[in-house]
Structure 1
């Protein structure tokens, strides 16, 4: 700070700091992109000098920029910048129509890439008839559509041809080319087979580096518009590191980004493991942190690829004792945890089944017992956890990475309920129990999985109500696990910042931290929680600089459409 005073003073409203020591204040000062002081207006305003900007928010709520602990920036930005938009509620007929319309704007050999296809629709299109309809709609162009879990793809016959997949192609380990009862390909790809489709799409790009930079820049614009200023990219490939470092070098990255590098072949095309890690480390900048390794322990419950402690719902002709298997052995996972200790990486471990969650906890416990405290380990997505394992998160300092978007307003739950026993579903997502046990509950969108928006206000409301934001859809999911509004907000601010290793940089409004804050159009702590989803961010600041301001006209809004804003996920405007 110079004699001219701080650069900026924010005053005139309520300031929620998200700190445990002083959660509320009246004003704060910013100097050189960092928080200089926080307190009462009478203490902060006298700090102003001739060069100080005074931001009077006129009674509005100010709070820290939000932190999303689980997001896929490249996929989300690519979807928004380049691809065919599909809503998860679209049924097959609507998708065929959208594909046909989109195809008219493309050349005869250009790929049609889009998403997201809802899990309920994916359940219904595993037939050769659906493949034939998709072929007709795409007009001979290769096509790949991603589903709402991002673990599966739907491709047409032209795409299968370019992928080199025929009726005789064997399924790889960890994936399936889905066939019908006669053994005919349906165009549906489960798990690791999706990477083969992604590779075919990537091979068609003429200037991938430029394209990825546009995608990541678009993604950052979108998250800023929702008030998000720090994220953990859940699977960062080499092209992601290049794009992020390019953006930060150009001064165009208005978010902290912590990356997670897959240690095995992943659903996206590209290098992994020790071939990938040097790319991440070389990309480190002020705001880009290559600090985590990504482990994928199992798949998703919709395709019965989660590793469960108890059997799946038994359908006709299926094994009544089938409960899924983890992709890792105990010995392999222990070696992976040890690698994190040896090389200073944190671990983000995808484990959607309660058996795979226990496997992670057991491995971390083993290594922590022998080697003591060490790296941060996160388990995503903590949907199913055995009651006996809940207190182990806090005991072992393992972060539960929760994705409230998977509950509502998406359609994944409907598909999950067809596969997972009702009593297990109704005890799912034990967020309150995790928080009460002392775990560092942290939340993320998993965008563009589940929904075509990273809107955090949907998730904050869902954490509080455990109900769908659309009143036309009745019911609640495990209502005993409701959080208070402040608890839900902390799960999107202070907690994930700590879980990502950024507690000394962001996540709260406190002296010495980077000046990330947002101005809201309503006080979410004083309104009916069932209207939190309608919250609009009026301004977002990153390092004390305004990086987003709400447009007066919705036509100028950079954000992707929020499904919560319109009932039924905007089906009528698809």
Structure 2
């Protein structure tokens, strides 16, 4: 006889993501796993004297969402400790917020915050803006992160603490931006941002405690939006330890796949095989160190994405196609090493040239018999000839919703790349039609101030920004259906990050991770999806969040 369920939910409109039974009325769970998903009568038969029974009153229930690309430490730090800025804030608003925040601090305390929109970053072209930042911060060290999280704007005091002088040479893979007169502007591109982060990190008196609070906060924020599984997109050692500690104490309410970087990038700390080995020791049921992170290029706003065709050039300027951080044979060797270690790879490749390099390397290792999971993160610019190769080579497309509809990031990108490339960007419809696995991820705190998945889900369907300040559509022919958009936030990322047999679907044997919504997504105008509220979030059969 089957033991009774711990939990039964009845009277719902349950979207299961199970093609064999897309809709159901009720579900039953025991020990964190689903026993049954079906009609009220068949599920109620599993009740026992100790079973908790919840009546859904016709509410829509669906699988817990899977965020395929999130930065838990950075996002949680922003939510718990730092100055909140909106990407739509103009320079005056940013400086005003910096001034108000700084007024509460001691004279030597750091002002740290974000996110600064790319269009503001584009305008920081001379030292006069730096002088205004110094004034707003009251002479304190200030570190502001942009919406790509690749670049920073820092004050003169921060530059001093970094050891950067007007004549300091640019670091490999980065730049201390100067104005036309050779003066530092405080803007840092790519790897130059790492020196700022290291200087700030050195000021923290108890970094492990701060990291632990940040990571715990991030999980709470994800749960509030209905996210119950995620891939941490660039995992350093202390955040990995904090996640493992949460699991050990029974307080980790999400499944988290880790991705330690194989080379230094922005965050300071051990990387490569040493980090991979240490993170491997932290494996648990929920904490899964199954991937590595590889950066192929930068971002188009600073012309560091690697493109097949040149960026927009001033008259008479030499054509420029961006930067590639890896050579082909080195990348192949790294992917082969990942296969030896049994690890997948999440490969940041924003430019079409970088994406092609990944696909070429994938073809080499697939021909050699390697089947380890591969993802191209931020599959924004993909040459039409390469679309079908994703499915052919079993490479997942990791997409970031905060970037694929009209917004300040797109305005900045449009100033750098040719119009036809912008107009063909984020070819999600073509990827889905080709059979590729499409995995949505917030990239929080990059691009967006929260990991809100509902705006992203809506804009996959509409290709419009719900914010009326940004009219129009971006490549509207690439719209998805609602069912396809839901897949991109559930079974798609679950498969891409290696938990496809556990999460993203409501069916017997799957985790009892599900959410109760305030509306039925299938009965509303798609333009209202962004207003969706998660009434209850269940993880492993337990209610972990109620209301938001």
Q: The TM-score by the shorter chain falls in which range?
A: over 0.9
Q: Report the equivalent of 1:250.
A: 249
> Is the aligned partner of 1:157 residue 2:156?
yes
> Is the aligned partner of 1:523 residue 2:520?
yes
Which has the larger displacement, 74-83 or 34-43?
A: 34-43
Alignment of 1:409-420 (within 5 A): 410-420=407-417
Picking from 442, 460, 482, the partner of 2:457 is 460
Q: Report the equivalent of 1:571.
A: none
> Is the aligned partner of 1:82 residue 2:108?
no
Picking from 325, 338, 341, the partner of 1:340 is 338
Taking structure 1 as the reference length, what is the TM-score of the superposition? 0.94
Q: What CA distance in whole angstroms lies between the structure 1 residues aligned with 2:264 and 2:186? A: 21
CA contact (8 A) 2:406 2:473 kept: no
Q: Report the equivalent of 1:566.
A: none
Aligned residues: 548
Runs of 4+ in 1 over 4 A off after TM superposition: none
CA contact (8 A) 2:339 2:370 kept: no
Q: Report the equivalent of 2:424.
A: 427
Cα distance, 1:69 vs. partner?
0.3
Partner-residue secondary structure (3-state), 2:504: coil
CA contact (8 A) 1:520 1:535 kept: yes
Cα distance, 1:155 vs. partner?
0.5
Q: What CA distance in whole angstroms lies between the structure 2 residues aligned with 1:411 and 1:472? A: 10
Q: What CA distance in whole angstroms lies between the structure 1 residues aligned with 2:195 and 2:271? A: 15
Cα distance, 1:295 vs. partner?
0.4
CA contact (8 A) 1:88 1:410 kept: no
Alignment of 1:97-116 (within 5 A): 97-116=96-115
Cα distance, 1:2 vs. partner?
7.1
Q: Report the equivalent of 1:488.
A: 485
Q: Report the equivalent of 2:121.
A: 122
Partner-residue secondary structure (3-state), 2:259: strand
CA contact (8 A) 1:65 1:507 kept: yes
Q: Report the equivalent of 2:35.
A: 36
CA contact (8 A) 1:11 1:27 kept: yes
Q: What CA distance in whole angstroms lies between the structure 1 residues aligned with 2:182 and 2:432? A: 47
Q: What CA distance in whole angstroms lies between the structure 2 residues aligned with 1:364 and 1:82? A: 40
Q: What CA distance in whole angstroms lies between the structure 1 residues aligned with 2:186 and 2:206? A: 28
Alignment of 1:135-214 (within 5 A): 135-214=134-213
Alignment of 1:531-546 (within 5 A): 531-546=528-543
Q: Report the equivalent of 1:327.
A: 325
Partner-residue secondary structure (3-state), 1:262: coil
Cα distance, 1:471 vs. partner?
3.4
Partner-residue secondary structure (3-state), 2:521: coil
Which has the larger displacement, 64-73 or 161-170?
A: 161-170
Q: In the TM superposition, what whole-angstrom CA distance separates every residue of 1:272-305 from its partner, at most 9, and x where no partner exists?
A: 1012112211221211111111000000000000
CA contact (8 A) 1:409 1:469 kept: no
Cα distance, 1:251 vs. partner?
1.2
Cα distance, 1:409 vs. partner?
6.1
Q: In the TM superposition, what whole-angstrom CA distance separates every residue of 1:423-458 from its partner, at most 9, and x where no partner exists?
A: 110111000100010000110000001110110000
Cα distance, 1:21 vs. partner?
2.2
CA contact (8 A) 2:405 2:474 kept: no
The CA RMSD over aligned residues, in Å, is: 1.2
Alignment of 1:389-400 (within 5 A): 389-400=386-397
Partner-residue secondary structure (3-state), 1:358: helix
Picking from 502, 507, 511, the partner of 1:510 is 507
Q: Report the equivalent of 2:441.
A: 444
> Is the aligned partner of 1:307 residue 2:306?
yes
CA contact (8 A) 1:241 1:279 kept: no
Cα distance, 1:472 vs. partner?
4.4
Which has the larger displacement, 179-188 or 388-397?
A: 179-188
CA contact (8 A) 1:152 1:190 kept: yes
Q: Report the equivalent of 1:473.
A: 470
Q: Please list every run of 5 or more consecutive structure 1 residues that lacks an aligned counterpart in the other structure.
A: 551-556, 558-574
